[in-house]
Amino acid sequence: MKGGEVSVAIINYGVGNLLSIYTSLQKAGAKPRIVQDVREAESFDCVILPGVGAFKPAIRKLESEGEVMLRLLEEKPILGICLGMQLLYERSEEGCPPGEFIEGFGIFKGSVKKLPSVVKIPQMGWNTIKILRKDCPLLKNIKDGIYVYYANSYAALPSEETAATTSYGITFSALSWKENVFGTQFHPEKSGSWGLKMLRNFIEYAWG
């Protein structure tokens, strides 16, 4: 793999955790760069939508460059992490009155919902994944039942794009995949050697 030649745009749309994913991508052999404008990402090989943050301000910022963002989603390998994954769903109830939703990009089918009150919210720490789709490029040589790191209060229910699930009060989509677009509810950059392997898999996929 010539991963060192793969350029990765990390889009800064006002969320935290950028340095952590930047450092992990370097360890994975890529050339990451934090970009402030969606249009800058068009010149890169692949794109990261990072995140810990809130759905509404993040989707509003990205929608301000809607045509460019949609073009990226069609043409580039994209990995959404945590909030970045949630933005790829049809809708989210975060920050909305009961029964109302905010629309996302609709790459993955379904809704992002708050974790049930029977468990401690947010989910902070390690949990296991159950692999459903072994053909997912991110899961190449990844073992079923590995522990990954979470920091989330919301999650998407499993759908046809779900490649792996996690259970925490409910069973939710841990990793989703549709064509060139991937999403992880967990943080691969904080998930040790397995998370680093997934980032390398993403870079290999982007390299083609």
pLDDT confidence tier of residue 51, bands split at 50, 70 and 90: confident
DSSP one-letter code for 36: S
Looking at residue 192, its pLDDT comes to 98
Q: How would residue 64 be classed by pLDDT, with cut points 50, 70 and 90?
A: confident
d(CA 61, CA 50) in angstroms, rounded, equals: 14
In the DSSP assignment, the letter for residue 116 is P
What positions carry a catalytic annotation?
82, 187, 189
- Between strands 147-152 and 108-114, the pairing is unpaired
Closest by Cα among 187, 80, 183 to 123: 187
* CB-neighbour burial class of residue 71 (10 A; exposed 0-12, middle 13-18, buried 19+): middle
pLDDT digits (tens, 9 = 90+) for 159-187: 999 999 999 999 999 999 999 999 999 99
Q: Is the pLDDT of residue 157 over 60?
A: yes
**Domain ranges for the chain:** 3-207
Average pLDDT for the chain: 95
Q: Domain 3-207 adopts which CATH fold? A: Rossmann fold (3.40.50)
Q: For residue 206, give the 3-state DSSP assignment.
A: helix
CB neighbour list of residue 173: distance below 8 Å, 6 or more residues apart:
108, 110, 155, 156, 157, 158, 159, 161, 162, 164, 165, 183, 185
Residue 139 and residue 158: Cα distance in Å, rounded? 17
Round to whole Å and give the CA distance between 102 and 96: 7
pLDDT of amino acid 144: 98
Work out the end-to-end distance of the chain between its first and last CA atoms, rounded to an integer number of angstroms: 10
Tens digit of pLDDT for each residue in 134-143? 999 999 999 9
Sign for the CA dihedral angle at 182, 78, 15, 87 comes to negative
Query: What is the 8-class DSSP label of residue 173?
Result: E
The encoded tokens of residue 135 equal 């053909």
Q: What is the pLDDT of residue 121?
A: 97
Q: With CA atoms as reference, report the closest residue to 107 among 38, 178, 9.
A: 178
pLDDT for residue 1: 44
Provide the pLDDT confidence category of residue 3 given band limits of 50, 70 and 90. Answer: very low
> Using one digit for the tens of pLDDT, what is the confidence trace for 70-129?
999 999 999 999 999 999 999 999 999 999 999 999 999 999 999 999 999 999 999 999
